[in-house]
Amino acid sequence: MYQQLKDRINDNNVKVGIIGLGYVGLPLAVELGNKGMQVTGFEIDREKVGLINKGTSYISDIDSAAVAALRKAKKLAATTDFKLLGQMDAIITCVPTPLRKSKDPDVSYIISATDQIAKNLKKGQLIILESTTYPGTTRELVLPMLEKTGLTCGQDFFLAFSPERVDPGNKNFTITNTPKVVGGITSKCSDLAQRLYSKIAGTVIPVSSTEAAEMVKLLENTFRAVNIALVNEVALMCDRLKLNVWEIIDAAASKPFGFMPFYPGPGIGGHCIPLDPHYLSWKLKTLNFYSRFIELAGEMNSRMPEHLVQKIVDTINDRGIAIRNAKILILGVAYKKDVSDVRESPALDILKLISDRRAKIDYYDPFVASVKMENGSLRSLPHLNGIGKYDAVVIVTNHSNIDYKYVVKNASLVIDSRNATKGIRSSSIVRL
């Protein structure tokens, strides 16, 4: 089984199934298809399936032309029929792994996907999990479900973990030039996964186990979360000291060794950084180990929306304006620049906190048409004309296609939490 699958991968003669066609799964499907492999995406969302089969992309990082070309070449298809998993040579799971309100891992999507794989598992298949999760998930959760079929891992089928490293909106680093980490249940599992990913990634780095590969992703994002928390705390310190935190960071970053710049903001959001460290923290708690850094970082980062809102309140109060009934415009509600994703976005907390203070609030985001609020939804303004009527314009997400010179020129007050107005001099700008 191993040799047969190895030969098919080497010859690009493999059918690859990808479960989950989101921001991870669809780019992966496109890259594999571009290398000549037959790719089938498995989705429960019928709308996504319909769009893919029409040659249309719903992911900002993937052009519809790329999807249409693969459809025309018959290298990409999407389906809701999970029975077709049995026809695949390799299956890659790219489903969400959110946190419950208790901050415990919610692996229900992984369980559901693995259940579908198990129902259709055949000899000679390579199964890879890409969804971010706690160390031990592949071996302790996925492996037993697959071996309940009576097939043996490393002999009848092959199982590996390879953490996704997609950075939405990043044009410089993509799947092809970002090293891929792979860890298998057995050496043969690892070898097959390496061979498959080497078709699309310039560098593939094997590690000793699935647990090691799972830990790699959690270390990466815990590193970011902790350092962002540190610089957010430094921002609060600089605020008290009447110093410009952005100036401090830029000066410190001139040191060519021993320092890596991180930047403060109104909080952290997205699918990874706010969640992944808690997966690690939860796992360690089961082993009676309490992670102080992770818990403190989470606490610090979660305080930033409140800090920004208090700065808004204090700043307009100094101008003789009460927050109640004040007109506030939020610029950007996506969790990061140049994407449409609002998952865990600090802007959602900021909108709620301002609304709770009875201010009149609008937002403008060229990537996000509407957001859900407690009492319905809020739609983006169609343009920035008339921003002078607002008591404060607050930059929460620094999208590249917003003209900040125009904003500063026409707004009476700009509160900038992202340093988007760097280089623009005006007494109307107040920075985080």
Residue 27 CA, chain-centre distance (Å), reads: 13
| CA–CA distance, 63 with 395 (Å, rounded to integer) | 28
β-bridge mates for residue 15, sequence order: 38
Q: Give residue 334's identity as a one-letter amino acid code.
A: A
> How wide is the angle at C-alpha 325 spanned by C-alphas 319 and 328, nearest 5°?
70
Beta strands in 1-140 (DSSP E): 15-19, 38-42, 76-79, 90-93, 126-129
Longest dimension (CA), the chain: 76
Q: Annotated catalytic, 94?
A: no
- Token pair 């710049």 in the structure block, residue: 261
Q: How many residues does the chain have?
A: 432
| CA–CA distance, 331 with 347 (Å, rounded to integer) | 9
Q: Which of 315, 325, 329, 312 is nearest to 397 (CA)?
A: 329
| CA–CA distance, 339 with 333 (Å, rounded to integer) | 10
Can you give 181-206 as a three-state secondary structure string? EEEECCHHHHHHHHHHHCCCCCCEEE
3-class DSSP assignment, residue 19: strand
Q: For the chain, how are helix, strand and coil distributed in percent, rounded to 5?
A: 40, 15, 45
Of 94, 153, 238, 272, which is the active-site residue? 272
β-bridge mates for residue 91, sequence order: 17, 127
Contact 79, 4 (CB under 8 A): no
Catalytic residues: 272
